[in-house]
Amino acid sequence: MRKLLSYDSKPAVDERLMRGSLAYIEGRAEEARNAFQDFDPLTMEHGLGG
Protein backbone atom coordinates (compact mmCIF):
# COMPACT_ATOMS: atom_id res chain seq x y z
CA MET A 1 0.00 0.00 0.00
CA ARG A 2 2.83 2.39 0.83
CA LYS A 3 4.39 1.72 -2.56
CA LEU A 4 1.10 2.46 -4.34
CA LEU A 5 0.76 5.72 -2.43
CA SER A 6 4.28 6.76 -3.43
CA TYR A 7 3.57 6.60 -7.18
CA ASP A 8 2.99 9.85 -9.05
CA SER A 9 0.22 8.13 -11.00
CA LYS A 10 -1.93 6.67 -8.24
CA PRO A 11 -4.51 3.90 -8.79
CA ALA A 12 -8.08 4.95 -9.58
CA VAL A 13 -9.13 4.58 -5.94
CA ASP A 14 -9.82 7.45 -3.57
CA GLU A 15 -6.54 8.17 -1.81
CA ARG A 16 -8.34 8.58 1.53
CA LEU A 17 -9.49 4.96 1.25
CA MET A 18 -5.92 3.84 0.61
CA ARG A 19 -4.52 5.89 3.49
CA GLY A 20 -7.28 4.71 5.81
CA SER A 21 -6.60 1.10 4.88
CA LEU A 22 -2.90 1.53 5.55
CA ALA A 23 -3.63 3.14 8.92
CA TYR A 24 -5.91 0.22 9.83
CA ILE A 25 -3.33 -2.38 8.77
CA GLU A 26 -0.68 -0.61 10.83
CA GLY A 27 -2.89 -0.51 13.92
CA ARG A 28 -3.73 3.20 13.83
CA ALA A 29 -7.45 2.69 14.44
CA GLU A 30 -8.38 6.31 15.19
CA GLU A 31 -6.68 7.58 12.02
CA ALA A 32 -8.36 4.83 9.99
CA ARG A 33 -11.76 5.64 11.49
CA ASN A 34 -11.33 9.30 10.57
CA ALA A 35 -10.32 8.42 7.01
CA PHE A 36 -13.33 6.13 6.55
CA GLN A 37 -16.01 8.28 8.17
CA ASP A 38 -17.12 9.93 4.90
CA PHE A 39 -17.25 6.72 2.87
CA ASP A 40 -20.48 5.02 1.90
CA PRO A 41 -19.42 1.56 0.68
CA LEU A 42 -22.71 1.13 -1.18
CA THR A 43 -21.78 3.97 -3.56
CA MET A 44 -18.41 2.47 -4.45
CA GLU A 45 -17.55 0.13 -7.29
CA HIS A 46 -18.60 -3.46 -6.57
CA GLY A 47 -15.01 -4.71 -6.24
CA LEU A 48 -14.33 -2.11 -3.56
CA GLY A 49 -17.38 -2.52 -1.40
CA GLY A 50 -20.60 -1.60 -3.24
- Mean pLDDT value across residues 33-39: 89
Cβ partners under 8 Å of residue 14, min gap 6: 39
* pLDDT > 70? residue 5: yes
Task: Kindly state the DSSP code that residue 41 receives in the 8-state scheme.
Answer: G
- Kindly report each contact of residues 10-13 with a partner whose C-beta sits within 8 Å and lies 24 or more positions away, as own/partner: 13/48
Q: What is the pTM of this model?
A: 0.69
pLDDT digits (tens, 9 = 90+) for 18-31: 899 999 999 999 99
